[in-house]
Amino acid sequence: MSKYKSFSVHSGLCRCRKAIAAAAAGITAAALPITILGIGAVGAIVFRVSSFSARTMMPATELSSFADEPEESSSRQQETQPASSQAASEPPKASGGRNLSENAPDASSDTSSDVSSAEPAAKKAGRGSVLEKKIKNSGYSFDGVYVKDGNSNYNLDVKKLLKSRAKCKIKKDAGYQVLIIHTHTTESYAEKSRDWYSRKYNPRTTDKSESVVAVGDEIEKKLNAAGIRTLHITTYHDYPEYTGAYDRARKTIKSYLKKYPSIEMVIDVHRDAMTQDDGTKIKPTAKIKGKKAAQVMIITGCDNEGKLDFAGWRSNSIMAVQLQKRMADRYEGLARPLYFAPFRYNMDLTPNSLLIEFGTDVNTLAEAKYAGQLVGNCLVDVLGEYVIN
């Protein structure tokens, strides 16, 4: 099985050091102009690798692998350790993070169209491959619910959770019941469905009609149409600065929970990214009712070592498992295995908090929006079981 991991500045610099060492070994007592030329070439290599790694913002950390699916290079793994009381609530920041205050993220930098095989090799060299596939079920399971466990001290008892009742009371046509937010608001998708991607492409944008915000809109529409009043907040938390996005999202969530105490559920909508060792990006896709949908992954957190001040994580897991079950029953292949994560991700703020990943950076926006509609239907089903008079 090929091992999957993501690029980072750290891994890029490691490659640079090897390139520099190789170049240095080849520089002998040659003339000064040749030496200068060699140093310039090495500098160009360093600049290229560092630039690519910074744009992708993917960490070097990896999750344990399973035979049937690649490891996630999820953007959830990028957040910094907060300096406040949130310490240890999020994974350590990888060296690939960056401050974006100098430039707005741009998801339209690659505007080239599909070209023939006669295209110059130099242009093709700036591309990477895309592998479209349906991520298979893996991990442990019960009754169609698959769980990928990242914890060492706890497991989810799926059978028990499916029979349990979450701490949730939904009132239809009343005050706000659901809050949708985006910790990484600028995460975006590919312009077209292709078997390649441009290495210059930056999958982030401040255009909310092209980002994960548009996916949140689809969920909001489904819930509101069912009488479950939903508030969708589109505040940027990862722009102009990326580091600290979870801290800023936390403040946003707390402010709206205080303003609208009727809110029973918080959904943090994200977009994932998966890259193989050879640079191939994975496009997780399922065909639902004859139409392509980006596959979805629910993340539910856990206080694995008792250091997160997250005593209520078990209540979140009830809602996560029940939504996973509904997706498995209604739309075969839509859901990737649920990831039971040893992190908090602000899920301690309500007993029904969910983090949901919609596709990766090489899925199209249309595929992600369709997945949002399908997940919205499933949320209506699940929350309908918690409606009170």
Q: Does 257 reside within a domain?
A: yes
**Residue 164, domain extent:** 125-384
Question: What pLDDT, on the 0 to 100 scale, is given for residue 124?
Answer: 72
The answer on 50 and 130 residing in a single domain is no
The position carrying tokens 């077209």 is 192
Axis crossing angle, helix 212-225 with helix 365-384, rounded to the nearest 10: 30
Question: What pLDDT, on the 0 to 100 scale, is given for residue 122?
Answer: 55
Model-level pTM? 0.74
Which domain-ending residue is among 17, 38, 56?
56
Q: Does 89 reside within a domain?
A: no
For residues 183, 359, 88, 8, the Cα torsion angle rounded to the nearest 10 degrees is -100
The answer on 153 and 30 residing in a single domain is no
Q: Can you tell me the distance from the alpha carbon of 258 to that of 267, in angstroms, rounded to the nearest whole number?
A: 16
The answer on 349 and 241 residing in a single domain is yes
* Angle (CA) 86 103 214, round 5°: 70
The answer on 354 and 257 residing in a single domain is yes
Q: Can you tell me the distance from the alpha carbon of 271 to that of 263, in angstroms, rounded to the nearest whole number?
A: 24
Given a cut of 70, the residues of the chain with pLDDT beneath it are 1-123
Q: Does 234 reside within a domain?
A: yes
Tell me how many domains the chain contains.
2
Question: What pLDDT, on the 0 to 100 scale, is given for residue 121?
Answer: 62
Residue 77 has φ and ψ, to the nearest 5°, of -80, 5
Question: What pLDDT, on the 0 to 100 scale, is given for residue 40?
Answer: 44
| Amino acid in position 374 | L
Half-sphere exposure of 15 (CA within 13 A, CB side): 14
Question: What pLDDT, on the 0 to 100 scale, is given for residue 33?
Answer: 40
| Exposure string for 311-345, b = 16+ CB within 10 A, e = fewer | ebbbbbbbbbbbbbbbbbeebebbbbbbbbbbbbb
CB 88 within 8 A of CB 284: no
| Tokens encoding 31 | 């003339």
Domain of 251: which CATH number?
A: 3.40.630.40
Q: Does 108 reside within a domain?
A: no
Question: What pLDDT, on the 0 to 100 scale, is given for residue 389?
Answer: 77
Instruction: Report the relative pairing of strands 127-133 and 196-198 from DSSP bridges.
Output: antiparallel
Q: Does 68 reside within a domain?
A: no
CB 283 within 8 A of CB 363: yes
Question: What pLDDT, on the 0 to 100 scale, is given for residue 59?
Answer: 32
* Angle (CA) 193 180 216, round 5°: 20
The answer on 279 and 153 residing in a single domain is yes
Question: What pLDDT, on the 0 to 100 scale, is given for residue 209?
Answer: 97
The answer on 52 and 184 residing in a single domain is no
Q: Does 376 reside within a domain?
A: yes
